[in-house]
Amino acid sequence: MEKAGINRFLQMHELEELRLEAYENSSSYKEKTKRWHDARLKGVKEFETGDKVLVFNSRFKFSPGKLKFRWTGPYLVKQAFPSVYVELFGNENTFKVNGHRLKLYFDRVDTTVQDDITFFPKAN
């Protein structure tokens, strides 16, 4: 009976050591994964008052239709907070949105300006 008790005691300690080793391995895996993910993050989007932005509409996530446009706007940035939240103005109301759901909106540039280049036909 005494040998069985000692054997059981050793098995419990081995099990505890295996559990601690598994915990350490998972911690190191999480740290490596976080480093890998953080290395591939894009820079923080910075918005200024007066910028025009589009908002990602996540309501279409489950049944968007294949060609449905997921960005709404443009909205005008009323105020940008340091905590990544941005206050927007549009459709006669203001609301706050997470800055990760925004992208800058650029107005179309008028490309109809033509150069004054005169081409002369070649004389044969």
Mean pLDDT of the 88-94 span: 89
Distance CA 81, CA 116 (A): 47
The CA radius of gyration of the chain, in Å to the nearest whole number, is: 30
Res. 31: pLDDT tops 80: yes
Domain ranges of the chain: 1-41, 52-104
Mean pLDDT of the 80-85 span: 86
Whether this model's pTM surpasses 0.75: no
Q: Which residues contact residue 75 at a Cβ distance below 8 angstroms, ignoring those fewer than 6 apart?
A: 52, 53, 54, 55, 88, 89, 90
CATH topology for the 52-104 domain: SH3 type barrels. (2.30.30)
Residue at 1: amino acid letter: M
Residue at 28: amino acid letter: S
Q: What is the pLDDT of residues 34-77, one digit of tens each?
A: 999 988 877 767 888 998 999 988 765 666 666 777 888 899 99
Looking at residue 71, its pLDDT comes to 86
Res. 14: pLDDT tops 90: yes
Q: Please, which pLDDT band fits residue 118 given cuts at 50, 70 and 90?
A: low
Looking at residue 47, its pLDDT comes to 87
Share of the chain above pLDDT 90, in %: 44
